[in-house]
Amino acid sequence: MTASVIDGKAIAAELRARVAAEVTRVKQDHGLTPGLAVVLVGNDPASEVYVRSKHKQTQEAGMASFEHVLPADVAQGDLIALVQKLNNDPTVHGILVQLPLPKGLDTQAVINAIDPAKDVDGLHPVNAGRLASGMNALSPCTPLGCIILAKSVHPSLEGMNAIVIGRSNLVGRPLVQLLLNENATVTIAHSRSRDLPKLTAQADLVFAAVGKAEMVRGDWIKPGATVIDVGINRLPAADGKSKLVGDVAYQEALKTAGAITPVPGGVGQMTVACLLVNTLRAASAINGLKAPAV
């Protein structure tokens, strides 16, 4: 048996098209253009690439895109002052401060300064608390993308055994809450968990978000399980360059899993698409409109 490969690129493109259609409708019916502001501090090459991609896709969806680039040595107070200015700007409905921030800046203080209604990264404690309480909340984009990818294979996740390997605030913890909202039975595991292979082998859905290259081996996976690989790790390749791999040993898992996301071309594609979803949802909520159909 060879697993079917979940095409994150195609699913993300379809989601972006649905967002663009809703943006057009909101503009026509309400004269509202959703706006996303991205704040980049310093010149981390990976972050710069990611911000360019966000800018391009935001504009392609018909939204307003605002970019703010600050030097790496910006004072904490100046960064927070910019965030507060964006909080008060009626043309901005989503604020995203690109992480990681340079050393010397207090990441949590910056996140706390964002208006929770505009927190399209879903990291503000108010949104994290609302999500944990089963209330409506802006959810982090990557976990949201993971759920959409899993539901492309299983339209309902109800009653399925899921394991989330990794407990970061960005992916693992919010993903657990989203799975609970889908009525899945969830195990959260991490680097200290005992007998991780045995725990993983019991799961119908495996979400690997631990940040360790190819840690999850093919023989850990229950035959026919769906595997969503959140990891992006660089390994040296034979030609002297580096290759991108996930947290799952992909070639091994292909022989056991029922469906699997590739790296690249899987979860990463969904993150920006879900950022557009969150911006549209935030714009609608801030303006008292009903939730968009995405």
Residues annotated as catalytic are 54, 98, 121
How far apart CA 114 and CA 104 sit, in angstroms, is: 19
Scored b (16 or more CB within 10 A) or e, 99-117 reads eebeeebeeeebbbbbbbb
H-run or E-run covering 192: none
How far apart CA 270 and CA 1 sit, in angstroms, is: 27
Asked if residues 142 and 271 have their Cβ atoms less than 8 Å apart, the reply is: yes
How far apart CA 252 and CA 38 sit, in angstroms, is: 38
Pick the closest to residue 215 from 187, 165, 249 (CA basis): 249
Please provide the size of the chain in residues. 294
How far apart CA 94 and CA 293 sit, in angstroms, is: 18
**Token pair belonging to 161:** 């055994």
Asked if residues 266 and 97 have their Cβ atoms less than 8 Å apart, the reply is: no
